[in-house]
Amino acid sequence: AQKVTQAQTEISVVEKEDVTLDCVYETRDTTYYLFWYKQPPSGELVFLIRRNSFDEQNEISGRYSWNFQKSTSSFNFTITASQVVDSAVYFCALSEPSGGSNYKLTFGKGTLLTVNP
Amino acid sequence: DGGITQSPKYLFRKEGQNVTLSCEQNLNHDAMYWYRQDPGQGLRLIYYSQIVNDFQKGDIAEGYSVSREKKESFPLTVTSAQKNPTAFYLCASTRQGNSWETQYFGPGTRLLVL
């Protein structure tokens, strides 16, 4: 079963539009961590945010905001007033214990965001 | 500047050839990871190492091998047993390998088969 689902494969918007990227996850653990990464065309994954399962406060960082809702197992990412430089693939990821001191980071398949001028 | 470097940026492999991808970090991190990314897919874990001289298989270890002789270095060898090696390979590291830690990534190596 897919543990991290990013249902939107591709999104295309015009500059200055707001856009929300969806992430739904599945876990049986009560303690887990959620991440968002940005992958620009250069390929390197850039860390954006980490959220633990006990902190449901929404977070805002400049034009970026995140909405974490445990009731719906979702961790959505909104970009306000999008810019061309926001064009990238965005990944949501779930970190949960996998036994002993090990853990597993599971990635969604990513959403390709294209912001057109 | 602290960070993770991967080389080469592009690598070409001939049939039956083993190739080695380099990953070096100067972040003083204990744990390192190798991922494979295929077009339109998320990242899949190949191998990880939480400490020098120890490493564990990830979800898709078949056809790959690693070593961890130094804390800073975690090279990945793609062997001839890996029948479909064309992909983008990403190396990552964390301070101690705990579930709450953020993984930081290198720039990646694109492997192509001739």
Beta-strand pair B43-51/A64-69: unpaired
Q: What is the pLDDT of residue A2?
A: 57
Do A110 and B97 lie within an 8 Å CB cutoff?
no
- Does A100 score more than 80 pLDDT? no
Query: pLDDT per residue over B43-91, tens digit each?
Result: 999 999 999 999 999 999 999 999 999 999 999 999 998 889 999 999 9
Q: How many other C-beta atoms lie within 10 A of the C-beta of residue A8?
A: 16
Q: What residues 1-20 of chain B have any CB closer than 8 A to a CB of chain A?
A: none
Using 50, 70 and 90 to split pLDDT, how confident is the model at A90?
very high
* Percentage of chain B modeled with pLDDT above 90: 79
Q: What is the pLDDT of residue B74?
A: 98
**Total residues found in chain A within this entry:** 117
- Does A101 score more than 80 pLDDT? no
What is the distance in angstroms between the Cα of B66 and the nearest Cα belonging to chain A? 18
Mean pLDDT of A81-101: 88
Using 50, 70 and 90 to split pLDDT, how confident is the model at B42?
confident
Give every CB contact of residue B37 below 8 A, 6+ residues apart in sequence: B43, B44, B87, B88, B89, B90, B108
| Of residues A34 and A56, more confidently modeled | A34
Nearest CA in chain A to B31: A102
Nearest CA in chain A to B55: A102
Do B104 and A47 lie within an 8 Å CB cutoff?
yes
Nearest CA in chain B to A105: B99
Radius of gyration over alpha carbons of chain A, in Å? 14
Q: How many other C-beta atoms lie within 10 A of the C-beta of residue A9?
A: 10
**Strand, coil or helix: B21:** strand
Partners of A108 on chain B (C-beta within 8 Å) are 42
What is the distance in angstroms between the Cα of A81 and the nearest Cα belonging to chain B? 26
- Does B104 score more than 70 pLDDT? yes
Q: How far apart are CA A49 and CA A78, in angstroms?
A: 12
Q: What is the pLDDT of residue A1?
A: 52
Nearest to B94 by CA among A93, A26, A59: A93
DSSP string, A72-107: GTEEEEEESS--GGG-EEEEEEEEEEEETTEEEEEE
Q: Chain A within 8 Å of B73 (Cβ-Cβ)?
A: no
Do A104 and B107 lie within an 8 Å CB cutoff?
no
Q: What is the pLDDT of residue B1?
A: 64
- DSSP annotation of B83 reads S
Nearest CA in chain B to A92: B42
Q: How far apart are CA A50 and CA A34, in angstroms?
A: 6
Q: How far apart are CA B33 and CA B67, in angstroms?
A: 11
Q: How far apart are CA B44 and CA B56, in angstroms?
A: 14
Per the listing, tokens 């057109």 go with A116
Which residue among A31, A44, A50 sits closest to B106, beta carbon to beta carbon? A44
Q: What is the pLDDT of residue A69?
A: 94
Nearest to B79 by CA among B6, B10, B15: B15
Q: How far apart are CA A33 and CA A27, in angstroms?
A: 10
Q: What is the pLDDT of residue A104?
A: 78
- Does A19 score more than 90 pLDDT? yes
Mean pLDDT of A35-43: 95
Q: What is the pLDDT of residue B29?
A: 94
What is the distance in angstroms between the Cα of B42 and the nearest Cα belonging to chain A? 4
Q: Report chain A's mean pLDDT, rounded to a whole number.
A: 92
